[in-house]
Amino acid sequence: MVKLLELSKFSLDRFIVNNPALPVDFIRNAYYNGIGRHVCQLQRITVKFCKNSTDAKGVRQFIETDLVDWSRHNPGVVVYLKPRRHRTPVIVTEYLNGMSHWMSIRRFSSLEIQWWLEFLKDRSGYELSQLMSPVNVILPSVQGPWHPFLNRPTALNVSQFPNKDRGDYIPDKPTASQQLLQMAKEINTSQ
Amino acid sequence: MVNLTQICLKYMPHWMKRPENRSVYFKRVALLRLTGTFGGLSRNSFKVAVKKWTKTMQYKPKYRRLRSQMIQDLYSQRILGAVEEHGFKYELFMSCLTKCGVELNRKSLSTLAVYEPKTFESLVDLAKTKLREEADSEIAINTKPVDGVITRGML
């Protein structure tokens, strides 16, 4: 299981994915979008809200203050407002390729709705999916993977074991006798 | 004493009645689909599969939490092994890296250790020089200097 999670980034195999039940696809863009003029892929927004309930307070504030500015800023997007009693406030966004996205904005503040609208506007119409890489690579770096003899001196190939130098304990700090020798050396040099 | 409910239900209009289900086949098949990868009777027999599935459903949320811990432990272990190879310590390595401003998480460090060992060696060298520069403890003072790292203090 851990192995699968690690390999999914480096493998092109479609069957190694984080969750095989969810959509998996290569990265796509709307045809020729960006080659000439950029076309906003968002076609229309339908905002359904209740005129009375507290869930829709943020939506109502957004409609009163920021909606007109936003729609003037994005002239390619059609905005429909549907007041519906006793229903949760909802945004339904439809894209040029026919996909639609339903989102509840219950108890969202005006600012949050603006943030979400930015996100929905920037999307292409393709559904959210795990992206596969079109480039297949088994070993992702030129250095080559680690193997046990990588950081070992090659002299070990021609040495006899047991090897005293390799087998010695390597202390972090100098031992007591080494410290005494150091102190003696310092005294001698100062004298 | 007349049982009126039975009579009323019998003469209720069809659009008010609940559809009667006399077949358990579909419910059982729906569960056996879930236990298709199990072995033996748990795959074929409903009674055994139900017991196995209830246990599986108890294990799943518990192991979901365990899995993230286990994976993090695995990454830490890999980094520990790689760091010890270069004659350094895991805790010192992690603390010195964050002091240097290298904010790599355990996952990326372990992938580097496995797939880019030279890069990892240079990170260990960086941590060693940082430790030497700090010179807080005896270990810091007594670490051997390494080539290839230039700091502001040297210039």
Whether B52 is in a domain gets the answer yes
Query: Which superfamily, per CATH, for A41-130?
Result: Glutaredoxin (3.40.30.10)
Nearest to A143 among B67, B118, B138 (CB): B118
CB interface of B with A, residues 6-45, below 8 Å: none
pLDDT (mean) for B122-130: 96
C-alpha distance from A171 to closest chain B C-alpha (Å): 10
Question: Is B137 at the interface with chain A, CB within 8 A?
Answer: no
* pLDDT above 80: residue A139: no
- Domain coordinates of chain A in residue numbers? 41-130
pLDDT category at A12 given cuts 50, 70, 90 is low
Best CA proximity match to A106, nearest among A55, A64, A57, A46: A55
ipTM value: 0.72
User: What count of CB pairs under 8 Å joins A to B?
Assistant: 37
- Overall domain count for chain B: 2
My answer on whether B48 and B86 are in the same domain is: no
B46/B54 Cα distance (integer angstroms): 12
Which residues are CB-contacts of A90 (< 8 A; sequence separation ≥ 6)?
A: A46, A47, A48, A49, A102, A103, A104, A105
My answer on whether B82 and B138 are in the same domain is: yes
Whether B7 is in a domain gets the answer no
User: What CATH number does residue B118 fall under?
Assistant: 1.10.1900.20
Q: Which domain holds residue B107?
A: 74-145
pLDDT category at A138 given cuts 50, 70, 90 is confident
Question: Is B108 at the interface with chain A, CB within 8 A?
Answer: no
Whether B68 is in a domain gets the answer no
Model confidence, pTM: 0.63
- A82-117 pLDDT, tens per residue? 999 999 999 999 999 999 999 999 999 999 999 999
Instruction: Decide which of B62, B82, B97 is a domain's last residue.
Output: B62
| Percentages (nearest 5) of helix, strand, coil residues in chain A | 30, 15, 50
Whether B155 is in a domain gets the answer no
My answer on whether B46 and B78 are in the same domain is: no
My answer on whether B55 and B80 are in the same domain is: no
Whether B69 is in a domain gets the answer no
Which of B85, B115, B143 to substitute to test the interface with A, most A CBs within 10 Å?
A: B115
Whether B67 is in a domain gets the answer no
My answer on whether B53 and B95 are in the same domain is: no
* pLDDT above 80: residue B70: yes
Whether B54 is in a domain gets the answer yes
